[in-house]
Amino acid sequence: GWTMANFRETARDAIRAQVGTGRVICGLSGGVDSSVAAALIHEAIGDQLVCIFVDHGLLRAGEADEVVRVFRDRFNIRLVHRDASDLFFAALEGVTDPEVKRKTIGRLFIEVFEEEAKNLGGADFLAQGTLYPDVIESVSARGGPSAVIKSHHNVGGLPDRMRMKLVEPLRELFKDEVRELGRELGLPETIVGRHPFPGPGLAIRIPGPVDREKVRILQKADAIYLEEIRNAGLYDAIWQAFVALLPVRSVGVMGDGRTYDFACALRAVTSTDGMTADVYPFDMSFLTRVAGRIVNEVRGINRVTYDITSKPPGTIEWE
C-alpha cells in the first residue's frame, strides 16, 4: 500500500533522475512547505542543493535563527542566509497601503533572491514547495477574485528570465501529508507543525507605516502570546494565532506615571483552509493573563484587545 516511507523513497529517486548532476537552488522561508522540500531534496542530492534564505526582517522573534540552526547546523544543508532587512525597511518607509506593502516586499524579495542566485553562479533547477492545492488553485483561480483581493507572494512568482527548470517534489501532496513527510525526514515539530505565516510577514500585521521599532515591539508581544498558547496546550487546536500592532495610541497608567502607547489586537482563529474562519473561544482568564504579561513586559504597548471577528466578513489578517 501507499505509505509515506514509500513516497519518500520514490520521490528521492525521481529527484535524482530529474536532476542528474545538475545544481538546484531552493528558497527557504521557514515555512513548512519549503522546509520539507529542502530536506527531501537534500536527502536525494546532498550538496548539489543550495538553499537561499532571504531574511526580510519581518519574521517572528527567533524564527530566522531557527532556520539557520536547523538547516545549516543540524541538516548540514548549504545555506545562504542573506540579511536584507535594511533594504526591506528602507523600501517600506512611509508605505501604508496593504497591497503596496505586499508588492514592495514581493518585488524586493525576488530581486534579492536573484542576486544571491547569481552570486552562486546560477543553477540548473529551482526547487519549490508547491503542494497539490497550489497546483489546482493556479489552474482554476488565477486572476480570480481572491487574487485581486490579495496578491499573495511566494517564490512561485519568480520571473521567466530566471529560466530554471522546476523541481517540485510535493506537487501531489496535501498539507497534512507534507507535515507527515517532514516528521519522517526528522524536521522538528516547531517547523513541521507551524501555523501558516504570510509571505509579507509582520508588515501586514502592522497597519500603517512599518519600521524596525514597531516590528521589534510586535515580535515581543507576539512571542508572549504564542508562548502562553503553547503552554496552555492550545497551539495545535488553533489554525493561526498572532498579534497585530495597531496604529492607535491610548492613555494608560504605569506605576506613578501616565503612558501613551500603542494598542495591540490578539487574533486566533480555527479554520480548515483559511477561506473561512471562526474566532477561537479562549477563556477570559487566559486572555487577561496574556494582556497582563504584554503590558508589563513589552515597552510600547499599554492596551490589549481581542479580535472577535469571524471570516467572512472579516479576514484573518488585518491587511
Nearer to ligand XMP, 300 or 314 (CB): 314
Query: Least distance from C-beta 154 to ligand XMP, angstroms?
Result: 6
- Residue 80, helix vs strand vs coil: strand
Nearer to ligand XMP, 30 or 199 (CB): 199
- Interactions with ligand XMP, residue window 36-75 (CB under 6 A): none
Query: Considering the rule CB under 6 A, would residue 103 count as an interface residue with ligand XMP?
Result: no
Among 22, 156, 196, 252, binds ligand XMP (CB under 6 A): 196
Nearer to ligand XMP, 159 or 313 (CB): 313
Query: Considering the rule CB under 6 A, would residue 198 count as an interface residue with ligand XMP?
Result: yes
Query: Least distance from C-beta 270 to ligand XMP, angstroms?
Result: 12
Confirm or deny that 34 is annotated as ligand binding: yes
Q: State the Cα–Cα distance between residues 288 and 67, nearest whole angstrom.
A: 32
Strand stretches in the chain, DSSP E: 24-27, 49-55, 78-83, 125-127, 165-167, 240-254, 257-270, 278-279, 301-306
List the grid coordinates of 154: 511566494
- Interactions with ligand XMP, residue window 226-245 (CB under 6 A): 240
Query: Least distance from C-beta 244 to ligand XMP, angstroms?
Result: 11
What Cα–Cα distance (Å) separates residue 170 from each residue in 8, 38, 166?
Answer: 10, 11, 12
Question: Given the rule CB under 6 A, which of 81-89, 122-130, 145-153, 208-216 is the region that contacts ligand XMP?
Answer: 145-153
Strand stretches in 97-196, DSSP E: 125-127, 165-167
List the grid coordinates of 188: 522538528
Confirm or deny that 31 is annotated as ligand binding: yes
First-to-last CA distance in the chain? 44
Among 152, 216, 289, 293, binds ligand XMP (CB under 6 A): 152
Query: Considering the rule CB under 6 A, would residue 310 count as an interface residue with ligand XMP?
Result: no
Q: For residues 125-135, b (16+ Cβ closer than 10 Å) or e, as one string?
A: bbbbbbbeebe
Query: Least distance from C-beta 16 to ligand XMP, angstroms?
Result: 30
Phi (first) and psi of residue 305, to 5 degrees: -120, 160
Q: How many angstroms from the chain centroid is the CA of residue 302?
A: 27
Query: Least distance from C-beta 136 to ligand XMP, angstroms?
Result: 16
In one-letter notation, the amino acid at residue 201 is G
Query: Considering the rule CB under 6 A, would residue 276 count as an interface residue with ligand XMP?
Result: no
Helix-then-strand count for the chain, H and E = 11, 9
Cα–Cα nearest to 54, from 18, 74, 30, 70: 30
Nearer to ligand XMP, 156 or 252 (CB): 156
Query: Considering the rule CB under 6 A, would residue 316 count as an interface residue with ligand XMP?
Result: yes
Confirm or deny that 124 is annotated as ligand binding: no
Among 23, 183, 216, 311, binds ligand XMP (CB under 6 A): 311
- Residue 126, helix vs strand vs coil: strand
Nearer to ligand XMP, 9 or 278 (CB): 278
Nearer to ligand XMP, 65 or 273 (CB): 273
Nearer to ligand XMP, 152 or 249 (CB): 152
Phi (first) and psi of residue 82, to 5 degrees: -105, 110
Binding site for ligand XMP (CB under 6 A): 102, 150, 152-154, 196, 198-200, 240, 274, 311, 315-317
List residues forming the annotated binding site for ATP: 29-35
